[in-house]
Chain A
Amino acid sequence: MTDSLILGLSSGSACLATCGMVMFPYLMAGSAGVKRIAVDLSLFLATRFIIYFILATLAWYFGQAIFTNSLVRNIVPGILYIVFAVMLVWYSIGSGKKPGCPARIVTTVNNRRFVPVLLGLVNSLGFCPALFIILTKGATQGTLSQSYLAFLTFFIGSSVWFLPLPLAGKIHKREVIKNIGILATGLAGIIFMIKGLTNLIGGIVNG
């Protein structure tokens, strides 16, 4: 499960770097202190948790239906890992135009009560390469509980970065954190690329 946690940790930092500054004002604006901030943040994280729980279930059932024999179970995910890992590297450090934060859509919603829930929904369903990778992982696990565990560790890894959101205004080295987050995501991409290659070659060699 380490790789899921690493993926969560690395993509979480980049996610915070791109989305944090959009989400921060909406989670915290007009708040009446720590209690309100904690409630908003808990709602946001709880929504993400539920979405990942649903995704873990769906991914595993689809995986069972698609990856029917051991050869396919090694080769297809291997290829998917490589493709998504390349996307992840490109997404993080590619020279092309980076996608904007999907949570930006939520900024048009007026009802403030739903904002944390909607933010959690959009953030967890914002289809980025890291999510594709964890979906692939969930789909190839032997049991449903293993799929849950993969998503849970991914959720924990990515959520760690949102916990200091209330202090975002006090962080002076935001640019540095953003840079490290972007590079860590790229590095996670490379790790999964190697994992994909190992799966693919292992699948071919071992039949």
Chain B
Amino acid sequence: MDNSLKISGMEKSFWKSLLFSLPMILITFMFITGGRPNFSDPYEAIALLSVFLLVNILFFLMHFSGKTDRYRAVLFILFAFSLSYTLIRNMLEIRHSMSFSQADLLECKIPFCHLVIPMMILPAAFTKSIIFPGSIISGFANISSMVVLWITATIVLGRGFCSWGCFYGGWDDGFSRVRKKPVIKKINSLWKWMPFAVLLMVALSAALTMLPTYCDWLCPFKTVTEFEKVTSVESAAKAGVFLTLFGGLVVVLPVMTRKRTQCSFLCPLGAVNSLSNKITPFTVKIDKTACTQCFKCVEACPLYALTKEDVNAGKVSVFCSKCGKCVDACSKKAIHYGIKGIPAGTMKSFSRNLFLFVSFLFMAIFSSGAIISTLQNLLKLIF
């Protein structure tokens, strides 16, 4: 009797999840295939179909299992690795090198990346100039499309952009999952203000020099995208900084701490996105009446966004990226996705479903191109 009830409950849940996934299936089909699927190239067809299935199975499982982070992370990490793979492959094909030359800079051939945005604001406001050597409206990763995408995503998701849209975040997210238990458990909470210090420095220095100083000197992801050709002691020092930051903050520390240390301690865009958490309608709420203060959520948070004091006060900090790890860790469902204005502990399902639909759809559309291209290329290489 119990078993049959359980099976019928699961069946009901299955159909409910499938129904919930239908709009996602239709929209992602339109975006991934462009509305007119072309199966003339078998590799492309396999890649398209695989990504379409992957995206929708992940979304279905999120609803069916009630867990968020593990399924989000699959697509998020794949996105990061695929984008770097695609970029590097393109550069090797076109330039035969991962480094860019002065000519590439002068011809504005550098693909735009959202990390430049905090440095663009002051120079754009005062001089009406864009300080990045990329194309404004044409070509791959042009400035206007990336800025519009970022603004839209940030207004809607707040710092959720860092866990649902950033094509670099998957790197340290991936490495933070390598070990089951952290080697380094405690880090001084002072460090979580570092992205604001970096933001202050790079925004002002960019305004003064009219150069994207973060990209020039600090971006660890230059290691897995493109960098200035090493022709002098200065460019060698820059390459050294990129490699050190990538090795330290994207690989070693995430493995040792099980936290996303690059996102927590360096990224200036993360600081801007943290501020945007104040305006987004979506948030993570703590139902103090249901909370048993086990603090598993604090331990789970990959961005040092949640402290015991926050839990006791019943609210998460502005650093929250809405990845869902804390929500999954709470057995009492005391911490949950919420909408501002709706009290904690109420409309949990509705809030989660609405947030997941918006955030996952954004990630699915944004990431699918890079993943399809990577898969297609890998299939060609293998067969």
Contact = CB atoms under 8 A, between A and B. Distances in A.
Interface of A: 2, 5-6, 9-10, 13, 93, 176, 179-184, 186-188, 191, 194, 197-198, 201-202, 205
Nearest to B194: A183
A182 B233 contact: no
A6 B194 contact: no
B197 A184 contact: yes
Contact of B233 (A179, A183, A186, A202): A202
For the residues of B in contact with A, the DSSP-based class is: helix
B193 A197 contact: no
A205 B237 CA distance: 13
A179 B237 contact: no
B161 interface: no
For the residues of A in contact with B, the DSSP-based class is: helix
A194 B201 contact: no
Interface of B: 190-191, 193-194, 196-198, 200-201, 204-205, 208-209, 217, 232-234, 237, 241
B197 A187 contact: yes
Contact of B193 (A6, A179, A198, A205): A179
Contacts of A201: 233, 237
19 contacts: A2-B209, A6-B204, A9-B204, A10-B197, A93-B190, A176-B193, A180-B196, A180-B197, A181-B197, A183-B196, A183-B197, A184-B200, A184-B201, A186-B197, A187-B197, A191-B217, A194-B241, A197-B237, A201-B237
B237 A188 contact: no
A10 B194 CA distance: 12
Given A180-B196, A194-B237, A187 B205 contact: no
A201 B234 CA distance: 9
A5 B193 contact: no
A5 B206 CA distance: 12
A13 B197 CA distance: 10
A205 B233 contact: yes
Nearest to B208: A2
Given A187-B198, A187-B201, A5 B208 contact: yes
Contacts of A187: 194, 197-198, 201
Nearest to B193: A179
Contacts of A202: 232-234
Query: When A and B form their complex, which 5 residue pairs have the shortest distance between CB atoms, in order from nearest?
Result: A183-B197, A184-B197, A202-B233, A179-B193, A180-B196
